[in-house]
Structure 1
Amino acid sequence: MESAFQERLEQLERHVEPGPVMVRCGAGAPLAFGRAASASGHRLVVVIPTHNGVPAMPPRHDRMATGELLNLAARARLLSYDPNHRDSCVGADERMIATSGLLLAVWDGSPPNGRDATAHLVTYARARGIPVEVVWPTGAERGTGEAIPDPPAALPVREAAKPPGTHYS
């Protein structure tokens, strides 16, 4: 999945000025995208959840990925949403998309059906005139839970992105 993101980012750079890219923290596609963006030299902005203005603990399955994304990030953006609530996450994604110039979506092209958040977000972006680029890696299947490999050794990790004494678990 990372290679598909990196390939698409490189294709897009031929047509538009490279700029910062934004992703909501999490494992799976967000982490793969963050790694690809960083490897492509983009400034990564990681959106982290807050509760009453204080950063919220991500769900257990997203904690390692969130730590890695924060290490890769040039900047973190705090956004009020509940990472354990689907509708809250979709609302956060809508707010991110509304301030973006392009949506890069991992999507199989299925229609919005009330359950597929990606289909909803693609429709949301298009309705607002925000261009959408679709990535669907060769051989990908919905619901396969494709494993995301460990980062390559050459992937830069900027220690300055993590305040001294901070650790992630």
Structure 2
Amino acid sequence: MIALVGHADLAPWTLALLEEDLRVRLARYTDVGRAGLVRIGQGLPLAFARAARRAGLGLVTVIPGTDRVAALLREGQTRAAGELLMLTQRLSLVDYDPADGTACVRADERMIRACSRVLAVWDGSPSTARDATAHLVAYARSLGRTVDVLWPTGAERRMP
């Protein structure tokens, strides 16, 4: 499988740039049995799902839950989650709290352990309390996973 990690605060035009770049890259990995793996969310996960579908790659979506019951999504994520789930071939319910940043990082680490390749949408910035992308790239590399870093020309993050 191919996992996706990256910044959650990407500018809308960056998501458009990335969707095509992701499609081209994912089209290279449509071997039998290969699939993309993403944690549910808006923005980058949805761009990844659209790209995977257009590339002909299957998609597994990780959804949060507790005791085998799906957790509620954050307000404003339901529309994106609905589209993402429509593009998904398989769901994976993982025990984590989507409102807990540390739990989300642990869920991402679990995804990375399940994959042979990681696509990282990363501008090279260090990890912060709000963004663990640098940590996840280092974690994947420490496990010997192949990591492809994507940051297209013109890409930007939204400023808080």
CA contact (8 A) 2:122 2:134 kept: yes
CA contact (8 A) 1:3 1:36 kept: no
Structure 2 CA distance for aligned equivalents of residues 46 and 87 of structure 1: 19
Assess, with a 3 A threshold, how the Cα gap between structure 1 residues 125 and 22 changes in structure 2: closer, same or farther: same
Aligned length: 145
Largest Rg, 1 or 2: 1
Structure 1 CA distance for aligned equivalents of residues 147 and 74 of structure 2: 28
Higher RCO (CA 8 Å, separation ≥ 6 residues): 2
Question: Is there any run of 5+ residues in structure 2 with no aligned partner, and where?
Answer: 1-14
Task: Give deviations 1:112-143, integer Å, cap 9, x for gaps.
Answer: 45553111100000011011111113212233
Matched, 1:90 2:109: no
Assess, with a 3 A threshold, how the Cα gap between structure 1 residues 33 and 144 changes in structure 2: closer, same or farther: farther
Normalising by structure 1, what TM-score? 0.77
Identity rate, percent: 48
Q: 2:139 — aligned with what?
A: 124
Assess, with a 3 A threshold, how the Cα gap between structure 1 residues 113 and 83 changes in structure 2: closer, same or farther: closer
Assess, with a 3 A threshold, how the Cα gap between structure 1 residues 68 and 28 changes in structure 2: closer, same or farther: same
Q: 1:6 deviation in Å?
A: 3.7
Q: 1:63 deviation in Å?
A: 1.4
Superposition CA RMSD, Å:
2.1
**Paired residue for 2:55, among 40, 54, 59?**
40
Question: Is there any run of 5+ residues in structure 1 with no aligned partner, and where?
Answer: 146-169
Normalising by structure 2, what TM-score? 0.81
Matched, 1:29 2:44: yes
Q: What SS class does the counterpart of residue 76 from structure 2 fall into?
A: helix
Q: What SS class does the counterpart of residue 119 from structure 2 fall into?
A: strand
- Structure that is richer in strand per residue: 2
